[in-house]
Amino acid sequence: QAGSAQEFDPLALFPASGRRAAVAMTHGVRTLIFVDVDGVLNVGINDEDQPPVLFNERNYKFAEYCSAYPRSAAALQRTPEELRCLERVRAVAGRRCGTQGAASSTLAELSCQGDSHVSVPLLRRLAQIIRAARKDGPTEVVLASNWRKPKFCSRVEGLERDISKVLGEHFAFDARTRKGEEITAVERLQCIGDFFADRCSAAKVGSFRAVVLDDFFVTPLNGWACDSGLNVSSEADAEAYLKSRVSSDVDAAALVLHPYQEWETSSGLLVQIASGLSQEHVKQAVAFLGGDAVPHLMPLRTPPTPARNAAAGAQVAAQARAEAVPDSQEPEQRAVALPRSGLVDDKLVEGSDGARLQEATGIVLAKATRQYEMMLDFIDSVMDESTAGSYFSTELCVVWPFLSMHL
């Protein structure tokens, strides 16, 4: 109309079908990577009604020992539930990694070492995904794990240092999902959906991609229902849910990688695990992000002076530390929400150090080659310098019954 000023809209030059692509070209693509830790950067084993078990070297060695020597005190003192757990640990150790791996490539190679709760190979795979995303545009790495709770601040800071070493540059999580207590797969997916929707609505226009790395509490995608009424029976269903949370004005895409496996042992025991990021997962993520090949990682080195994202990451970490409260003030957690802990630390190796040393001394005197080597490995993993001095102090009356069982 005459006399009225109308603002020129360049998007009007594009047909409706091409406007989203034009928006992406004008404003760029923003990537959000949602990272769970347990079950993604380590392997977790479902333990019936108990908290999932961390698959680490000590648990694996202990399970192998009890299997090789079922008449030892370590094995005889186990309950039926604990013996089933040990069988699952052994089954996981022998599980092949993918379908094209070498005969020696098993999940045992992904076990956590020492006191760490993170597997180095899985950490490197996460770093490859982060590098691929950063090459293509602005990237926000969001901590969606239970590790975002204030009491895990030191553990998260250690994880950030490890990722920095692998990337060869400073790394810190850019954000965390909202505070809350998630104990089910539905609650975790909805929490991620809330964050994704908030980021997209704040931008109003643009193109967003979400990469979700989550085992959803070692839960299969077997049809659980979201608040929208959508039943999640596959990764594609979870992706559809995330896209449904975003306005139609925003170009949004999602990729959900769910590291979960289940199978039955030869004895019929059901094994359910969060198997960690696989090499196939990395390839899927890189392809989704538009990369041609999996990025190469530099050898480990000390990270340089904090650069980009350092200020945001430091602010998030400082806020979490400020909100931290002593464990005694933390509300009691439900079993499925507890952090995964090692069998050796909390569940299967109980009793005094003396009881473990009695068994170890019997092995040394017996000189049974295979048992000797296995037990030394186990001793190295459970003893420290404070107990090493009493290693050979066990009385012979305790050792002899043990020798008579094995000679």
For 123-137, what is each residue's pLDDT tens digit? 999 999 999 999 878
- Other C-beta atoms closer than 10 Å to the C-beta of 77 total 14
- Other C-beta atoms closer than 10 Å to the C-beta of 150 total 15
For 212-222, the pLDDT digits (tens) are: 999 999 999 99
Q: Which single residue is written with the structure tokens 């791996």? A: 101
User: How wide is the angle at C-alpha 194 spanned by C-alphas 191 and 197, nearest 5°?
Assistant: 150
218's CB contacts (< 8 A; 6+ apart) are: 39, 44, 45, 46, 52, 260, 272, 273, 274
Fill in the DSSP letter of residue 352: -
For 263-277, the pLDDT digits (tens) are: 999 999 999 999 999
Least Cα distance to 50 among 94, 95, 87, 84 occurs for: 84
* Single-letter code of the amino acid located at 402: F
pLDDT recorded at residue 33: 98
pLDDT recorded at residue 314: 54
199's CB contacts (< 8 A; 6+ apart) are: 30, 32, 140, 208
pLDDT recorded at residue 21: 40
Alpha helices in 337-394, H assignment, sequence order? 343-346, 353-366, 369-382, 385-388
pLDDT recorded at residue 265: 96
pLDDT recorded at residue 25: 41
pLDDT recorded at residue 358: 41
CA distances from 265 to 44, 84, 101 (A): 17, 11, 20
List the chain residues with pLDDT less than 70.
1-27, 98-104, 204-205, 296-407
Fill in the DSSP letter of residue 299: P
Q: Which single residue is written with the structure tokens 């003893």? A: 383
Distance of CA 222 to the CA centre of its chain: 21
pLDDT recorded at residue 391: 35
